[in-house]
């Protein structure tokens, strides 16, 4: 019963689109279907089209069988493919059977492509004209194609008889041209196109970088297979960015939105990395175990361990974030490695220097005010300061190098998460700290 989930509604009150958007994230699938069916037809259409493929799939499966066809047929073939890929395999046949024959055929052709490839994203419904048509003829021809529910008629693709892509012309250019000018003389021949198997992230990057409203997908013989429109990649960019961020936060990417992901599913996505990191952190206990004698002699040394190792982790997290994002935006490539290392080495030294001054000041001030650290306070301050410089420089270099290393070996650079970098730097930070301590304090505190 929807009313149990929506206590604020009076039973006889009409459900508006805004109300539904408001409560949608917290509704169960059945409540969603029930609420959806309360919407006036036109609003229901708008709302349906604004849902993600994943939500559409769940909604369709929750509707009574007789109402499914209506909504499945609302979708152009590329969107229908997305929905089919989101429904459980056992429901696919049933949904496919609801499509009209032409769309079903298009959908089956598109489903041969990988879900995250250009082919899996494209629509076969694009506007076409011939090079020998005049501007006037081309416009008339476009008008005839309107009834085919094309993705867009704004760009018309100029094809030869074998479907080879010769050029592209926009409605704007056809409007502006003298009516008897042939399309051949109007079209842009230098068309940016993408191969069928290009990854959707690359497609999105190309469209964003060139501000393209649509891009044609071609096979190896330059024959046009379909077009991808900006609304297809807008979702891709958001999805990929969300995945990147979740990986950068130290977990596996969720498949659905936060509130739609069950708690156990979410725990699974988070537990794997937490366990890996815990095992990594156990090396800190091992490293500290090696210095147990030093800690026993000078317990004061232990007090500064969290401060020093976390400063390395923090500077490493900054560096990793900068490099991962710059890589995602194609601003950095593998070959920029040395340039980045150089910059980060210098940045790390300066940042470490600044932190060292603050750390030193803190210990000396505390010593002057409260006599906290005994007669070797000066040497202790020096140890902490030098360790900060070394650990921060190392953290910065390691944090910026890790995404390069991951990409070099075929992993996602976004996996160089802040927690991953911090764990890496924590272990080495302890070794650096105690090495500096032995050098400076041996004979005094140690």
Scan residues 223-242 and list those touching its own copies (CB under 8 A).
230-231, 234-235, 237-238, 241-242
Based on the shown chain and the rule CB under 8 A, indicate whether residue 213 belongs to the binding site for its own copies. yes
CA 192 to chain centre: 24
What's the DSSP call for residue 336? G
Tokens of 333: 């490539």
Provide the H-helix boundaries in 122-262. 135-145, 171-176, 183-186, 200-209, 230-248
Based on the shown chain and the rule CB under 8 A, indicate whether residue 387 belongs to the binding site for its own copies. no
Where is 229: in which H helix or E strand? strand 224-229
Are 192 and 215 in contact by the 8 Å Cβ rule? The answer is: yes
Which of 62/208 has CB closer to its own copies? 208
What's the DSSP call for residue 194? E
* CA gyration radius, the chain: 30
Q: Which of 61, 75, 191, 332 binds its own copies (CB under 8 A)?
A: 332
What's the DSSP call for residue 222? -
- Look at the alpha carbons of 267, 51, 114, 88 in this order and tell me if their dihedral is positive or negative: positive
Site for its own copies in 406-445 (CB under 8 A): 417-419, 422-423, 426, 430
Q: Which of 172, 223, 375, 408 binds its own copies (CB under 8 A)?
A: 172
Q: Which stretch binds its own copies (CB under 8 A): 67-75, 90-98, 159-167, 279-287?
A: 279-287
Residues in contact with its own copies, counted by CB under 8 A, come to a total of 108
Task: Match 């416009």 to its residue by tokens.
Answer: 139
Based on the shown chain and the rule CB under 8 A, indicate whether residue 133 belongs to the binding site for its own copies. no
Where is 217: in which H helix or E strand? strand 214-218
Based on the shown chain and the rule CB under 8 A, indicate whether residue 210 belongs to the binding site for its own copies. yes
Which of 226/348 has CB closer to its own copies? 348
* Cβ atoms within 10 Å of 135's Cβ, excluding its own: 22
Q: Which of 176, 368, 405, 439 binds its own copies (CB under 8 A)?
A: 176
Q: Which of 5, 108, 266, 341 binds its own copies (CB under 8 A)?
A: 266
Which of 69/128 has CB closer to its own copies? 128
Q: Which stretch binds its own copies (CB under 8 A): 1-9, 85-93, 94-102, 295-303?
A: 295-303
Site for its own copies in 366-385 (CB under 8 A): 372
Tokens of 159: 């094809």
Q: Which of 225, 325, 376, 407 binds its own copies (CB under 8 A)?
A: 325
Based on the shown chain and the rule CB under 8 A, indicate whether residue 54 belongs to the binding site for its own copies. no
Q: Which of 339, 374, 408, 439 binds its own copies (CB under 8 A)?
A: 339
**HSE toward the beta carbon, residue 167, CA cutoff 13 A:** 15
């Amino acid at each position: 019963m929807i009313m149990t989930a929506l206590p604020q509604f009076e039973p006889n009150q009409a459900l508006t689109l805004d109300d539904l958007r408001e409560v949608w994230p917290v509704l169960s699938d059945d409540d969603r279907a029930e609420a959806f069916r309360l919407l006036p037809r036109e609003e229901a259409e708008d709302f349906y089209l604004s849902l993600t493929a994943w939500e559409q799939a769940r909604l369709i499966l929750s509707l009574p069988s007789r109402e499914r066809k209506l909504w499945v047929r609302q979708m152009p073939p590329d969107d229908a493919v997305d929905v089919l890929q989101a429904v459980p395999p056992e429901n696919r046949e049933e949904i496919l059977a609801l499509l009209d024959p032409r769309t079903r055929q298009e959908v089956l052709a598109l489903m041969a492509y990988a879900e995250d490839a250009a082919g899996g994203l494209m629509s076969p419904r694009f506007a076409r004209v011939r090079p020998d048509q005049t501007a006037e003829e081309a416009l008339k021809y476009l008008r005839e194609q309107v009834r085919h529910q094309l993705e867009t008629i704004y760009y018309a693709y100029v094809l030869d008889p074998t479907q080879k892509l010769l050029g592209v012309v926009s409605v704007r250019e056809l409007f502006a041209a003298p009516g008897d000018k042939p399309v051949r003389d109007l079209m842009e021949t230098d068309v940016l196109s993408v191969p069928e198997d290009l990854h959707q992230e690359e497609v999105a990057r190309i469209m964003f970088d060139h501000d393209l409203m649509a891009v044609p997908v071609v096979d190896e013989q330059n024959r046009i297979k379909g077009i991808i429109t900006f609304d297809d990649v807008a979702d891709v960019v958001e999805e990929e960015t969300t995945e990147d961020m979740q990986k950068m936060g130290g977990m596996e990417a969720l498949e659905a939105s936060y509130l739609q992901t069950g708690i156990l599913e979410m725990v699974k996505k988070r537990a794997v990395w937490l366990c890996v990191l815990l095992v990594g952190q156990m090396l800190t206990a091992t490293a500290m175990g090696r210095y147990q004698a030093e800690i026993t002699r000078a317990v004061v040394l232990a007090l500064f361990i969290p401060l020093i190792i976390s400063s390395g982790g923090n500077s490493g997290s900054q560096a990793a974030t900068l490099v991962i994002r710059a890589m995602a935006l194609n601003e950095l490539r593998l070959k920029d490695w040395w340039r980045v290392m150089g910059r980060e080495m210098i940045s790390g030294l300066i940042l470490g220097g600044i932190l060292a001054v603050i750390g030193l000041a803190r210990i000396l001030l505390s010593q002057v005010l409260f006599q906290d650290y005994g007669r070797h306070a000066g040497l202790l301050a020096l140890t902490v300061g030098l360790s900060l410089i070394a650990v921060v420089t190392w953290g910065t270099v390691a944090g910026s190098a890790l995404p390069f290393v991951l990409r070099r070996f075929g992993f996602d650079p976004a996996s160089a998460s802040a927690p991953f970098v911090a764990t890496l730097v924590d272990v080495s930070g302890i070794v650096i700290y105690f090495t500096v301590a032995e050098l400076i304090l041996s004979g005094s505190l140690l």
